[in-house]
């Protein structure tokens, strides 16, 4: 298949491009400056250049986006581009809605015009976090922050134009091509003896390599509708931090639990956003691995890439 990926130079987009290029022709779209630095840094190992390419495209430009997608004539458009800084969205709500909702509508119009199928990557933050057992896809939404509201509006924009679109909600991403919680914790090693980390938010850390595989499997079975995809298991940010430091061999650092209120970030976060993966498993006959396994894998590859 021919697949266009927006946000192709981002954290998820980079791993997704690599995963899809094994079996498909992939064309990555991102902001010009992002693509330039990505290509210069050779983030993607030299893969078959006939199968993978990048083009500059600002999804806020509706006409340009529609023309680009029409020219590419893809079978699928996978939309990863977003304003993903949760506290940043709270401070700049107009920017959040412009990119996450209007930008998404432009991409959906492009897919519609090209008669392509569309996959929109969404978030666990569309839920209010009041449940105490995993959210299923039919549960009501109730985002607590601007990021979640703007991503949910993005879902609606997509479904308005493409009622059979595929929407995949995921959570707590980490990957080697973007700033993430693991790197934020490891950046403190050697600098601090003690860290305070939030213990009253529970979710599932998810490796972008594993999510990329799950997205590929979903499009390969032609799935449509809303799905959850995340690594198995769950933890609080506090437990996650302790496991990162333990695996890294830096467990001399004392990690102390703190509350969300004590941390006082601009955006509220759901207290519980674990996603049920039953629908994903039934549809793909595949289980995503446990987040602890994925974390080990990430740290191993990180060490290799440092050397």
- Structure token pair of residue 246: 């333990």
Per-residue exposure over 18-45, b if at least 16 CB sit within 10 Å of its own CB, e if not: bbbbeebbbbbbbbeebbeebeeeeebe
Q: Which stretch binds ligand NAP (CB under 6 A): 3-11, 19-27, 88-96, 240-248?
A: 3-11
For residue 148, the 8-state DSSP code is: H
Of 171, 199, 204, 231, the one binding ligand NAP by CB under 6 A: 171
CB 95, min distance to ligand NAP, A: 10
Q: How far is the CB of 258 from ligand NAP (least distance, A)?
A: 20
How many CA atoms lie within 13 Å of 177's alpha carbon, on the beta-carbon side? 24
Q: Which two tokens stand for residue 238?
A: 């506090």
Q: Taking CB under 6 A as the rule, does residue 106 contact ligand NAP?
A: no
Residue 147 known to be catalytic: yes
φ/ψ of 165, rounded to 5, equals -65, 160
Can residue 10 be called a binding residue for ligand NAP (CB under 6 A)?
Answer: yes
Stretch that binds ligand NAP, among 2-10, 111-119, 132-140, 278-286 (CB under 6 A): 2-10
Q: Pick between residue 33 and residue 254 the one whose CB is nearest to ligand NAP.
A: 33
**Does 58 participate in binding ligand NAP (rule CB under 6 A)?**
yes
Nearest C-alpha neighbor of 81 from the set 109, 112, 60, 110: 60
Q: 133: which 2 tokens?
A: 């057992």
**What is the DSSP code (8-state) at residue 288?**
P
Note whether 30 binds ligand NAP by CB under 6 A: yes
Residues numbered 117-146 forming contacts with ligand NAP, rule: CB under 6 A:
121, 123
Question: How many C-beta atoms lie closer than 10 Å to residue 259's C-beta?
Answer: 12
Q: DSSP letter string over 71-137? A: HH--SEEEE------HHHHHH-HHHHHIIIIIIHHHHHHHHHHTT-EEEEEEEGGGS-S--SS-B-T
Supply φ then ψ for residue 169, to 5 degrees: -90, 135
20 binds ligand NAP (CB under 6 A): no
Binding flag, residue 216, ligand NAP (CB under 6 A): no
Residues 175-204, mask of contacts with ligand NAP (x by CB under 6 A): ---x--------------------------
Choose the binding region for ligand NAP from 58-66, 191-199, 219-227, 276-284 (rule: CB under 6 A): 58-66
CB of 79 to ligand NAP, least distance (A): 7
Catalytic pick from 120, 125, 147, 280?
147
* Distance between CA atoms of residues 98 and 102, nearest Å: 5
Q: How near is the Cβ of 217 to ligand NAP at its closest, in Å?
A: 17
| Chain residues that interact with ligand NAP, rule: CB under 6 A | 6-7, 9-13, 30-31, 34, 58-60, 80-82, 84, 99, 103, 121, 123, 151, 170-173, 178
């Amino acid at each position: 298949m021919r697949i266009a990926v927006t946000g192709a130079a981002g954290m998820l987009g980079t791993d997704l491009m690599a995963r899809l290029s094994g079996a498909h022709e992939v064309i990555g779209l991102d902001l010009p400056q992002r693509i330039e630095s990505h290509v210069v840094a050779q983030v993607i190992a030299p893969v078959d250049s006939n199968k993978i390419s990048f083009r500059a495209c600002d999804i806020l430009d509706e006409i340009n986006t529609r023309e680009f997608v029409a020219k590419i004539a893809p079978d699928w458009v996978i939309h990863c581009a977003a304003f993903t800084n949760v506290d940043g969205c709270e401070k700049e709500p107009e920017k959040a809605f412009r990119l996450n909702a209007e930008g998404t509508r432009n991409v959906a119009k492009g897919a519609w015009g090209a008669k392509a199928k569309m996959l929109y990557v969404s978030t666990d933050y569309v839920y209010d976090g009041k449940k105490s057992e995993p959210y299923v896809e039919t549960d009501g939404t109730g985002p607590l922050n601007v990021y979640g509201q703007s991503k949910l509006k993005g879902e609606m924009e997509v479904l308005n134009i493409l009622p059979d679109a595929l929407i995949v909600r995921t959570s707590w991403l980490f990957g080697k091509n973007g700033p993430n919680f693991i790197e934020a914790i490891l950046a403190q090693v050697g600098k601090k003896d003690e860290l305070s980390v939030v213990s009253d938010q529970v979710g599932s850390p998810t490796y972008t390599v594993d999510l990329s595989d799950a997205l590929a499997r979903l499009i390969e079975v032609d799935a449509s509708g809303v799905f959850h995809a995340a690594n198995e298991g769950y933890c609080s940010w506090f437990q996650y931090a302790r496991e990162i430091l333990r695996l890294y061999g830096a467990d001399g650092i004392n990690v102390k639990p703190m509350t969300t209120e004590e941390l006082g970030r601009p955006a509220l976060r759901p207290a519980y956003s674990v996603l049920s993966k039953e629908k994903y498993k039934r549809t793909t006959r595949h289980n995503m691995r446990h987040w602890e396994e994925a974390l080990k894998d990430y740290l191993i590859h990180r060490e290799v890439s440092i050397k």
